[in-house]
Amino acid sequence: MMNSRVFQIYLFLSVTCVFLTALHTSPALALCAAPQEAGTWINTNRSENPYSIEIKLIDCGDQVLNGVQTKTRYGITVSVKQSSGALYHRPQVEAQYRAAGGKQWLVAKVPTGGYVDNIWMRTISKDGKQRLYTHIRHKSLDSKPDATSKFWFIKK
């Protein structure tokens, strides 16, 4: 008889502990923050292309779905000025961080027609302001030569 009473007390205390823990638990907070490169950036030389780059956080990889850790994803949209003066927004592509030269770079591959632009981006403080520095390797998809460009952008 005593064992049954001990079991009832144990069961009551266990359920009470679970209830109190659930009652006082804070909701989980997202581990992701928008990257410092996030936002719309305008080329400091307005006559050059790309004219602007928009960078944003697409998905935060702070959860597990069906036993698989989700991935943090970033997207960039590159806009170029056409000969008519109108802006053409290339389709958004995914970007990811890579280390090179002891620095973290946000890297994306942007198809441009006859080339694929490998754009390496990072923020740098220059003249007391945050700037986006880009190093672009224009990889030819045919017999044209490859090229390299470097640009500075300011936040819009």
- Look up residue 149 and give its amino acid: S
Return d(Cα 122, Cα 134) in angstroms, integer. Answer: 7
Domain ranges of the chain: 39-155
pLDDT for 94: 97
CA dihedral 37, 40, 46, 50 (to 10 degrees): 70
Among 55-64, 116-125, 145-154, the least confident range: 55-64
For 22, the 3-state DSSP assignment is helix
CATH class as words, domain 39-155:
mainly beta
pLDDT digits (tens, 9 = 90+) for 96-147: 999 999 999 999 999 998 999 999 999 999 888 999 999 999 999 999 999 9
Average of per-residue pLDDT values in the chain:
85
Runs of H (alpha helix) within 25-125: none
Q: How confident is the model at residue 11 (pLDDT cuts 50, 70, 90)?
A: low
Nearest to 49 by CA among 85, 10, 23, 18: 85
